[in-house]
Amino acid sequence: MVEKIKAFLKEVTLESKKVVYPSKDELIGSTWVVVIFSFVVSMFLGFVDLGLSKLVSKLIK
């Protein structure tokens, strides 16, 4: 059991050395993409929700 744990930790160490971290500029660019996309999707869903709520309220009356 101890040997399996040692082998696992050794593999984790080897795999962690293969990780390529983004540069600062890439990280900032990706962050802006996520922020803008989240804003656009939230605006779209807000308009859809507003339209559907008005439609349902007219159907109920």
Q: Does residue 22 contact residue 30 with C-beta atoms inside 8 Å?
A: yes
d(CA 7, CA 14): 11
pTM recorded for the entire structure? 0.65
pLDDT tens per residue, range 7-59: 999 999 999 999 999 999 999 999 999 999 999 999 999 999 999 999 999 99
Tell me, what's the pLDDT at 23? Answer: 97
User: Among all chains, which residue has been given the structure tokens 């080897």?
Assistant: 14
Reported as a pLDDT band with limits 50, 70 and 90, residue 61 is: confident
Task: Check pLDDT > 90 for residue 3.
Answer: yes
User: Among all chains, which residue has been given the structure tokens 């984790």?
Assistant: 12
d(CA 45, CA 37): 12
Report the run of H or E that residue 16 belongs to, with start and end.
Answer: helix 2-16
d(CA 3, CA 9): 10
